[in-house]
Amino acid sequence: MTTIYHNPRCTKSRLTLALLEEKGLSPTVIEYLQTPPDAEELTRITTLLGIGPRDLIRTGEAVYKELGLGDASDTDLIKAMVENPILIERPIVLANGKARIGRPPENVIDIL
């Protein structure tokens, strides 16, 4: 089963979804701004990606600065992403027990 955490307004996210479909996949599409992952799922995703929460957060978003997350702990970063899903880097593809961020979209090919 393949899942994509998707933002339809994001070009990279749309391109990654199109790439999955070109590969003959019908992924489960989670529009994470409407249905954000909970803290447990975000922790699982960072583990599958092999990164920390700071590497999954979009530091250029205004809310990042508003919340003063520069020195935040991993727990606080996860909480901030759950409460403000716009902070989550996108798109994220989960497949075959692995995860990749689709930036660029071709990053996901090796887990399909």
Name the residue with tokens 């999954």: 56
**Two structure tokens written together for 49:** 């990606």
Would residue 10 show up in a list of annotated catalytic residues for this protein?
yes
Q: How many CB atoms lie within 10 A of CB 33?
A: 17
List 2, 3, 10, 14, catalytic entry: 10
Report helix angle 39-49 to 74-83, nearest 10. 120
Residues in the chain, overall count:
112
Q: For tokens 């070109």, what's the residue?
A: 22
Catalytic residue numbers, as ranges: 10
